[in-house]
Amino acid sequence: MKIASESSQILRMREQIKSEIDRQDQEATPRALQNAARTMLQQLGQRLEEGATNKRPFFDGNKHPSPASEKVESLRQILQNQTPSS
């Protein structure tokens, strides 16, 4: 009888540990995805900035500037040409 009781305790502990691991996984996944998305957006912004300022193509191997880097440059020029309203 003692073995059955210990076995049942072990099974309960195992289920508690499993549910705690599942709970932590569910909380960690959105954070990891958020961090990955933030990093990707920062890298994309840096690449767009490089393409606009250095006249380098956005994609390696492309001989012409990408439409995205041209758009960044045109927006920059528009902002520079605007005068502050008084």
Task: Say how far apart CA 54 and CA 60 lie, in whole Å.
Answer: 14
Task: Say how far apart CA 56 and CA 35 lie, in whole Å.
Answer: 28
Tell me if 52 is assigned to some domain.
yes
Confidence class of residue 15 from pLDDT cuts 50, 70 and 90?
A: very high
Domain extent for 43: 2-56+65-76
Tell me if 20 is assigned to some domain.
yes
CB 69 within 8 A of CB 58: yes
- pLDDT tens digits, one per residue of 41-84: 888 888 777 766 655 555 555 555 566 667 777 777 887 776 55
Tell me if 36 is assigned to some domain.
yes
Q: Report the number of distinct structural domains present in the chain.
A: 1
Tell me if 49 is assigned to some domain.
yes
The residue that leads in pLDDT, 26 or 15, is 15
Tell me if 17 is assigned to some domain.
yes
What does the pLDDT read at residue 86? 43
